[in-house]
Amino acid sequence: MTTPHMTREPQLHAAAATFAEPFAGLPDRGSGRPAAWRGRVGPWPAPPLLFVLQVLCLAGPTGSAPQELSYTIVDTGQDTCHGTRRRIEAPALGERFFGQDAQYLGNAPAYRDAADGTIVDLNTGLVWQKTPDSLTRSWADAAAYADTLELGGHSDWRLPTIKELFSIADLRGNMRTRTPYVDTRFFDFEYPTPGAGVRDMDAQYWSADLYVGTTMRDERSAFGFNFADGRIKSYPLQRGRARRGSRAPHVKKYARCVRGAPYGVNDFVDNGDGTVTDRATGLQWAKADSGEGLNWEQALRHAEDLELAGFDDWRLPDVKELQSIVDYTRAPDARSPSARGAAIDPIFGVTEAESWFWSSTTHLEHRAGAYYVCFGRALSARKWAGEEMNAHGAGAVRSDPKVGDPADWPDGLGPQGDQIRILNYARAVRGGVPERRP
Q: How far apart are CA 81 and CA 140, in angstroms?
A: 41
List, edge to edge, every strand of the sheet that includes 369-374: 204-210, 221-226, 232-236, 397-401, 369-374, 356-362
Spatial CB neighbours of 187, under 8 Å, sequence gap ≥ 6 = 119, 128, 130, 168, 256
DSSP state of 19: H
pLDDT at 33 (0 to 100): 33
* Helix-helix angle 49-56:9-20, to 10 degrees: 140
Q: DSSP string spanning 203-255?
A: -EEEEEEE-SS-BTTTB-EEEEEETTT--EEEEESBSSPPPTTS-PPBP-BB-
Domain ranges of the chain: 109-438
Nearest alpha carbon to residue 82 among 362, 360, 316: 362
pLDDT at 111 (0 to 100): 98
CA of 54: how far to CAs of 23, 57, 88, 275, in Å?
Answer: 14, 5, 29, 17
Q: Model-level pTM?
A: 0.85
Q: For the chain, 438 residues long, give each residue's pLDDT as a single digit of tens.
A: 333 333 333 333 333 333 333 334 333 333 333 323 333 333 333 333 344 444 444 443 333 345 678 999 999 999 999 999 999 999 999 999 999 999 998 999 999 999 999 999 999 999 999 999 989 999 999 999 999 999 999 999 999 999 999 999 999 999 999 999 999 999 999 999 998 889 999 999 999 999 999 999 889 999 999 999 999 999 999 987 655 556 778 999 999 999 999 999 999 999 999 999 999 999 999 999 999 999 999 999 999 999 999 999 999 999 999 999 999 999 999 999 999 999 999 999 999 999 999 999 999 998 789 999 999 999 999 888 788 899 999 999 999 999 999 999 988 888 888 999 999 999 999 997 554 433
Spatial CB neighbours of 29, under 8 Å, sequence gap ≥ 6 = 47, 75, 77, 79, 105, 106, 108
Other CB atoms within 10 A of residue 343 CB: 29
Spatial CB neighbours of 133, under 8 Å, sequence gap ≥ 6 = none
pLDDT at 246 (0 to 100): 61
Q: How far apart are CA 290 and CA 161, in angstroms?
A: 29
pLDDT at 310 (0 to 100): 97
Nearest alpha carbon to residue 322 among 374, 364, 359: 359
Spatial CB neighbours of 296, under 8 Å, sequence gap ≥ 6 = 84, 358, 370, 400, 402, 403
What letters, b where the CB count within 10 A reaches 16 and e where it falls short, cover 276-301?
bbbbbbbbbbbbbbbeebbbbbbbbb
Q: How far apart are CA 269 and CA 279, in angstroms?
A: 7
| Three-state secondary-structure class, residue 320 | helix
pLDDT at 368 (0 to 100): 87
**Count of alpha carbons within 13 angstroms of residue 115, beta-carbon side:** 0
